[in-house]
Amino acid sequence: METLEYRTLCLTCLRPSKACFCACINPFDTNFAFRILMHPKEARKGHLGTGRLTNFALNNCQIIIGEDFDHNQEVQELLNSPNIFPMILYPGEESINLSSSKLETQSFENKTPLVFIIDGSWPCAKSMMRESKSLHSLPRISFDSTIESRFLIKHQPAKYCLSTIESTYILLGLLEQQGLENIGAAKDSMIKALDQLVKFHIKCASDPSMKHYDRKGGAYKDPSERKPSKKWEYREICFDEKNYSRQRI
Ligand SMILES: [Zn+2]
The pLDDT tens digits of the residues spanning 70-107 come to 999 999 999 999 999 999 999 888 899 999 999 999 98
Comparing 53-67, 79-93, 162-176, 196-210, the range with the smallest average pLDDT is: 196-210
Average pLDDT over residues 214-229: 56
Rounded to the nearest angstrom, the distance between the alpha carbon of 9 and the centre of ligand 1 is 8
Q: Roughly how many angstroms between the first and final C-alpha of the chain, as a whole number?
A: 56
Could you tell me which residue, 198 or 119, shows the higher pLDDT?
119
Is the pLDDT confidence value at 248 over 50?
no
Question: CA-CA distance, 245 to 203, in Å (whole number)?
Answer: 44
Is the pLDDT confidence value at 217 over 60?
no
Ramachandran angles phi, psi of 221, nearest 5°: -80, 150
Rounded to the nearest angstrom, the distance between the alpha carbon of 127 and the centre of ligand 1 is 29
Is the pLDDT confidence value at 3 over 70?
no
Average pLDDT over residues 51-65: 95
Q: Are 203 and 192 in contact (CB under 8 A)?
A: no
Rounded to the nearest angstrom, the distance between the alpha carbon of 18 and the centre of ligand 1 is 9
Rounded to the nearest angstrom, the distance between the alpha carbon of 1 and the centre of ligand 1 is 32
Q: Which residues pair with 38 in a beta bridge?
A: 65, 119
> For residue 195, what pLDDT is reported?
87
The model's pLDDT over 137-195, given as tens digits with 9 standing for 90+, comes to: 999 999 987 766 776 666 665 666 788 999 999 999 999 999 999 999 999 999 998 88
Ramachandran angles phi, psi of 58, nearest 5°: -95, 115
Rounded to the nearest angstrom, the distance between the alpha carbon of 57 and the centre of ligand 1 is 11
Is the pLDDT confidence value at 247 over 70?
no
Rounded to the nearest angstrom, the distance between the alpha carbon of 137 and the centre of ligand 1 is 35
Rounded to the nearest angstrom, the distance between the alpha carbon of 25 and the centre of ligand 1 is 10
Rounded to the nearest angstrom, the distance between the alpha carbon of 236 and the centre of ligand 1 is 34
> For residue 5, what pLDDT is reported?
57
> For residue 8, what pLDDT is reported?
85
> For residue 249, what pLDDT is reported?
35
Average pLDDT over residues 62-76: 97
Closest C-alpha to 53, from 15, 16, 103: 15
Q: What is the number of other CB atoms lying within 10 angstroms of the CB of residue 248?
A: 8
> For residue 79, what pLDDT is reported?
97
The model's pLDDT over 227-240, given as tens digits with 9 standing for 90+, comes to: 555 554 445 656 66
> For residue 128, what pLDDT is reported?
94
Describe the strand order of the beta sheet including 33-38 as a list of residue ranges.
Answer: 61-65, 33-38, 112-119, 84-89, 140-142, 96-97
Distances in Å between the Cα of 53 and the Cα atoms of 14, 23, 57, 74, 118 are 10, 10, 6, 21, 14
Rounded to the nearest angstrom, the distance between the alpha carbon of 13 and the centre of ligand 1 is 4
Is the pLDDT confidence value at 208 over 90?
no
Rounded to the nearest angstrom, the distance between the alpha carbon of 170 and the centre of ligand 1 is 22
> For residue 158, what pLDDT is reported?
61
Rounded to the nearest angstrom, the distance between the alpha carbon of 105 and the centre of ligand 1 is 35
Rounded to the nearest angstrom, the distance between the alpha carbon of 146 and the centre of ligand 1 is 29
Q: What confidence category does residue 201 fall into, taking pLDDT thresholds of 50, 70 and 90?
A: confident
Rounded to the nearest angstrom, the distance between the alpha carbon of 10 and the centre of ligand 1 is 5
Rounded to the nearest angstrom, the distance between the alpha carbon of 55 and the centre of ligand 1 is 11
Rounded to the nearest angstrom, the distance between the alpha carbon of 58 and the centre of ligand 1 is 14
Rounded to the nearest angstrom, the distance between the alpha carbon of 69 and the centre of ligand 1 is 27
Distances in Å between the Cα of 216 and the Cα atoms of 186, 206, 208 are 36, 11, 12
Comparing 107-111, 123-127, 169-173, 240-244, the range with the smallest average pLDDT is: 240-244
SS (H, E, C) the chain: CCCCCCCCECCCCCCEHHHCCHHHCCCECCCCEEEEEECHHHHHCHHHCCHHHHHHHECCEEEEECCCHHHCHHHHHHHHCCCEEEEEECCCCCCEECCCCCCCCHHHCCCEEEEEEEECCHHHHHHHHHHCHHHCCCCEEECCCCCCCCCCCCCCCCCCCCCHHHHHHHHHHHHHHCCCCCCHHHHHHHHHHHHHHHHHHHHHHCCCCCCCCCCCCCCCCCHHHCCCCCHHHCCCCCCCHHHCCHHHC
Q: Are 58 and 27 in contact (CB under 8 A)?
A: yes
